[in-house]
Amino acid sequence: MVVASGAIVLASVALGRGQSPAPGRVLLQSVSSGAVDRGLLPDEAPPPAIGGKLSMRALGDEAVHADRIGASGAAYQAGRLIVKFRDEVSTSARLSALSAMSSGSIATRKSYANFDIVTLDPAEDAEAAARAFASRADVEYAQPAYRVYAHFVPNDPLYRTQWNLPNIDMERAWDIQPGATSSVVVAVLDTGIAFQDAIVRYNARSFRAFLSNGAILQYPALGTIDVPFAAATDLRGTNRFATPHDFIWEDNLPLDLAGHGTHVSGTIGQLTNNGIGTAGVAYNVRLMPVKVIDDAWDFIFGSPNEGTDETVSRGIRYAADNGAKVINMSIGRTGPPAPVVEDAIRYAVGKGTFIAIAAGNAFEEGNPRQVIAEIASRVEGAVSVAAVDLLHNRAFYSGTGTWVELAAPGGSSRGFGTAGTIYQQTYDLDFVDTYDLPPALYRAPRFDVLAFLPFQGTSMATPHVSGLAALLVQQGITSPAAIEAALERFAADRGATGRDNEFGHGEISARNTLRGLGLSR
């Protein structure tokens, strides 16, 4: 992001977001004037997200407080602690433990949470408090609310841009299993999906943006604005979306305010062979939009929650409890362990839900350990996914490590330009990222202008795996462990012979996997 001279780095904030919810949004109507589709926009591909966020500070009465950086180096939401007491511990015993350990209080337990949130003084060291709680015999685990981030031959006319699907032999795989059906539900845990036409009223607060060159820009409050949304034309269909939910706004309207989740969803289930746009791996599946990650506009509009281990774990449980057979998580973080997320992943897999998780984009930033992806390597039925480029090589950004289990096309603009990236339909970001403009040009966003944009990242690789998993579910392979075993057994070996830390067991091969299971046509 560049404004004047210097990149905007989204920074900390001042008061209690999540503790003192800002005024909510209002759905004015469930229709809009319709989407504007600008078609293919082969602009320069954005760099893959590495787990950072635009730096802003709100100025209004509903200002949000800063994410704090702990001694571990990881960002967490100040004033909140996730505590899982052992099952046999009574409510009165929990309150007694709290009074002995902290001056805080236990918040009312939210939906799809098997843990408690202890509210702390925002100035208190949440990592130290977590260690103190975790040392108790009646506590199963305790951790801060660490921040989590998004990682970034049909007749469809833009299929020619999709080298990624022929590279995993999708055309011959579709001969065996042409897409999937609405009986298979894939949950997309992300920034939301462009799933509904709507006009929504928000209050856009003023904020300051802190530039990497040390400059500070003040942006005005836009006040009450009515914001148009449109469903992605290449995703929408009859009964297409299953039980949507938003854990950032605590409602059932997981509108995408960033475009990331919409792009990811296209690779999984973009309508295919319909003469429009691009193709998706498991077209005709039902998509479950589950919003667990916030972005800049959520911040500006004053959403009550941020994307943390808490929202992610609740989203995983929600998806599993509401019929998802596959969960796509093109998200992640570095830093200390995430026991609350691991607990949720094991819960979902135990209920028969396969999970694909992005392996991370920070290879050139020191290749840090990816906490959520690493969980997958310990759970049969969950996999972490690295990214490869057009020539089947590891993408320059793709993280490496013992946690990498599979690889899939994630794209790379390095050496290939936008021809080497992953195209899908999402918002035209010229109408969304208006906070990138100087304050005098800053304006309200529009989420009803669509385009086919080139993205790259392990976020783009992961939905290829989720889509192929959905095809296996359609064929009757429903055990998460069996799905993982098939994907790994029939993957195309890349790099060093056998499993390695760059490609895991190899790059997924759709036709090999289906044929290897005895399926043919």
pLDDT in tens, 453-467: 889 999 999 999 999
Residue 451 scores a pLDDT above 80: yes
Q: At residue 1, does pLDDT exceed 50?
A: no
Please give the Cα distance from 425 to 234 (Å, whole number).
7
Token digits of residue 25: 């949004």
pLDDT at 30: 67
The confidence score (pLDDT) of residue 63 equals 37
Question: According to the CATH classification, is domain 28-51+149-203+222-516 in 2.40.50.100?
Answer: no
**pLDDT band, very low/low/confident/very high, at 243 (cuts 50, 70, 90):** very high
pLDDT at 34 > cutoff 90: no
* Residues 484, 486, 489: CA angle, nearest 5 degrees: 105
> pLDDT at residue 247 above 60?
yes
pLDDT of residue 276: 56
Ranking 270-274, 290-294, 411-415, 469-473 by mean pLDDT, the lowest is: 270-274
Q: How many residues does the chain have?
A: 521
Per-domain boundaries in the chain:
28-51+149-203+222-516, 78-146
Helix (H, G, I), strand (E, B) or coil at 317: helix
What pLDDT shows up at residue 54? 46
The type of residue at 2 is: V
Write down the pLDDT at residue 465. 97
pLDDT value at residue 231: 94
End-to-end CA distance of the chain: 48
Instruction: Give the pLDDT confidence score for residue 341 in this predicted structure.
Output: 98
Residue range 78-146 in CATH 3.30.70.80: yes
H or E stretch at 449: strand 449-455
* Mean pLDDT along residues 411-426: 88
Judged on CB neighbours under 10 Å (0-12, 13-18, 19+), 6 is middle
Q: What average pLDDT score do residues 326-331 get?
A: 96
pLDDT greater than 70 at residue 153: no
Residue 476, burial from CB neighbour count under 10 angstroms (0-12, 13-18, 19+): exposed
90-133 residue pLDDT tens: 888 888 888 888 777 888 889 999 999 999 988 899 999 999 99
Least confident of 171-175, 189-193, 359-363, 485-489: 171-175
pLDDT tens readout for residues 202-211: 999 999 988 7
Residue 4 has pLDDT above 60, yes or no: no
Q: What is the pLDDT of residue 262?
A: 96
Report which residue type is found at 213.
N
Residue 3: per-residue pLDDT = 28
> Model confidence at 146, in pLDDT bands (50, 70, 90)?
very high
